[in-house]
């Protein structure tokens, strides 16, 4: 907690989150796609552990 109290912590957190979103929005398309594919690779094992994957959920091999 900061000397200004918890509301200062929350305001700081929200400002850092806004800055991160601005940086993500300004990123080139190639970087956005790379991030999307990485997140999908991370999510796939979690989804596959819960139930069988549906045909449209199976990943394409797009890694160069």
Range(s) of the domain holding residue 41: 6-57
Q: What is the pLDDT of residue 57?
A: 81
The count of domains in the chain is: 1
Is residue 63 in a domain? no
Is residue 37 in a domain? yes
Is residue 64 in a domain? no
pLDDT in tens, 11-62: 999 999 999 999 999 999 999 988 888 888 888 888 889 999 888 887 777 7
Q: Give yes or no for residue 2 having a pLDDT over 60.
A: no
Q: Is the pTM of this model over 0.75?
A: no
Is residue 1 in a domain? no
Is residue 20 in a domain? yes
Exposure b/e, 6-29, CB count within 10 A at least 16 = b: eeeeeeeeeeeeeeeeeeeeeeee
């Amino acid at each position: 907690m900061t000397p200004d109290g918890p509301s200062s912590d929350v305001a700081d957190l929200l400002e850092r989150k806004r800055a991160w979103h601005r940086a993500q929005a300004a990123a080139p398309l190639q970087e956005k796609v790379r991030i999307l594919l990485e997140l999908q690779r991370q999510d796939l094992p979690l989804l596959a552990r819960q139930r069988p994957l549906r045909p449209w959920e199976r990943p394409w091999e797009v890694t160069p």
